[in-house]
Amino acid sequence: MIKTLISAASLAAATLAVPAQAETPAGAKNVVLVHGGFVDGSGWRGVYDRLRKDGYNVTIVQNPTISLADDVAVTKRAIAQQDGPVILVGHSYGGVVVSEAGTDPKVKAVVYIAAFAPDKGESVSSLIANPPLGAPVPPILPPVDGFLALDKGKFAASFAADVDPATARFMADSQVPWGLEALNGAVTVPAWRSKPSYYLVASNDHMIPPPAQRQMAARAKAKVVEAAGSHAIYVSKPDAVADLIERAATEK
């Protein structure tokens, strides 16, 4: 009898110790996150944690940023692995990638986070060719062997001004070279012309001027929210980013 009671108590304790599983969210439950130039997918960790907590299945694409064609292929493989509708999210240059890859039938909506949202025939190179007077100039160093990098000493101020200094320094020191082929890769059919689109404008961005972000978002007829944040707003304000992604997932 005592053994039975002890076993029952142990089972009850074990049951209580198991963390509660998040409920399956309504709408699209698959989210695919695409990073931009100079960085890798690890910056999405805060957004990933929030979305996972809320019950979403999250995949982070490690696109090599060597050429647009390669990055689109890697992203499409990630989309193909999903078991239902997908919310496709791109930051910065990742916006070009999701614009091209987002025409995939599985993609329910495309979300731009302080990102380029090009039209047919446009690339990052063409979109930044004529910056507005007085716009901040990103500290991009001259290309080496066909790849670009940001000046490490100016990385924090331009890319990650609201990220804690230690993390910003790590981001600067762990940069991923950005290929000129990726910079010059042009979109053929932009997803925002056929899919619902959402855009988070980072109002303190020193890489893509906020007025340019607003113009691209308006052209794409995106549902727009703004938040005070640097170009690395996906690192510094993960909840603001996750809120918009979840809105895209649940809205009809």
- Residue pLDDT, tens place only, 190-243: 999 999 999 999 999 999 999 999 999 999 999 999 999 999 999 999 999 999
Cα 225 versus chain centre, distance: 15
Q: Could you tell me if residue 223 is inside a domain?
A: yes
Percentage of the chain lying above the pLDDT 90 cut: 85
CATH number at residue 193: 3.40.50.1820
Residue 132 has what pLDDT? 75
How is residue 118 written in tokens?
Answer: 């090009």
Q: 25 pLDDT band (50/70/90 cuts)?
A: confident
Spatial separation of the C-alpha atoms in residues 150 and 176, rounded to whole Å = 10
The 10s digit of each residue's pLDDT in 151-165 is: 999 999 999 999 999
Does 7 have pLDDT greater than 80?
A: no
The domain in which residue 197 lies consists of 25-120+177-250
Mean of the per-residue pLDDT values for the chain?
A: 91
- Please name the residues in contact with 155: beta carbons below 8 A apart, sequence gap of 6 or more: 139, 168, 171, 172, 175
Query: What is d(CA 41, CA 171) in angstroms, rounded to the nearest whole number?
Result: 11
| Cβ contact 90:66 at 8 Å | no
Of the candidates 110, 118, 113, the residue with the CA atom closest to the CA atom of residue 248: 110
* Tens of pLDDT, residues 116-152: 999 999 999 999 998 777 888 899 999 999 999 999 9
Tokens of 234: 């996906």
Tens of pLDDT, residue by residue over 43-93, are 999 999 999 999 999 999 999 999 999 999 999 999 999 999 999 999 999
- pTM for the full predicted model: 0.90
Q: How big is the chain, counted in residues?
A: 252
- Whether residue 13 lies inside any domain: the answer is no
Cβ atoms within 10 Å, residue 201: 24
pLDDT bin (cut points 50, 70, 90) of residue 179 is: very high
* Confidence band for 22, pLDDT divided at 50, 70 and 90: low
8-state DSSP, 192: G
> What CA–CA distance (Å, rounded) separates 212 from 3?
71
Report the distance separating Cα 60 and Cα 188, nearest Å.
24
CA atoms within 13 A on the CB side of 69: 1
Query: What distance in Å separates the CA atoms of residue 64 and residue 177, rounded to the nearest whole number?
Result: 9
pLDDT, residue 23, reads 65
What distance in Å separates the CA atoms of residue 157 and residue 15, rounded to the nearest whole number?
A: 49
Does a structural domain hold residue 86? yes
Provide the domain count of the chain: 1
121: left (phi over 0), alpha (psi -120 to 50) or beta: left
Q: Are 205 and 135 in contact (CB under 8 A)?
A: no
In a domain, 3, yes or no: no
Q: Is residue 134 part of a domain?
A: no
Is 101 within a domain?
yes
Nearest to 107 by CA among 251, 249, 238: 249
Strand partners, 91: 113
- Predicted pLDDT of residue 135: 82
* 157 within domain boundaries: no
Residue 192 lies inside a defined structural domain of this protein: yes
How many of the other CB atoms lie within 10 Å of CB of 194? Answer: 12
Q: What's the confidence (pLDDT) of residue 248?
A: 98
